[in-house]
Amino acid sequence: MPASLHPRDADGKILLGPMVYTEGREHNRGRLYFASFNMNSRVIKRFMWADGLDPFSEQARKRGERYEAKRARVDDVSPGDGN
C-alpha cells in the first residue's frame, strides 16, 4: 500500500499496517488494523480498524453481537443430531 494511502495519527505520522489482529476477543481475531506504537514500550498510541469501525463504537458492538449469535447457532448443531 502506498504511504499516501496509509492513515495517519494526530501528529501526521503514518500508522503501521495493515497488520492482522491475533489476540484479544475472538470476534476480532483475523481483522486488519493500523497502529502507531511508543517504540520504547511497544504500547499502542493510536489504533484504527482497517474497515473504519471505531474500536468501541455502536457498530463495533453490533458486529460482535452478530458474531456471537452466529457462533451460538453453530454450537447448537452438534455432530450426529441430523442437522
> What sign does the dihedral 54-68-21-51 (CA atoms) show?
negative
Q: Is the pLDDT of residue 20 over 90?
A: yes
Structural domain including 23 reads 3-76
Q: What is the mean pLDDT of residues 10-16?
A: 86
Q: Is the pLDDT of residue 1 over 90?
A: no
Average pLDDT, the chain: 81
Would residue 71 count as lying in a domain? yes
Would residue 82 count as lying in a domain? no
Distance in angstroms (rounded) separating the CA atoms of residues 62 and 69 = 10
Would residue 27 count as lying in a domain? yes
Q: How many domains is the chain built from?
A: 1
Share of residues in the chain with pLDDT > 90 (%): 5
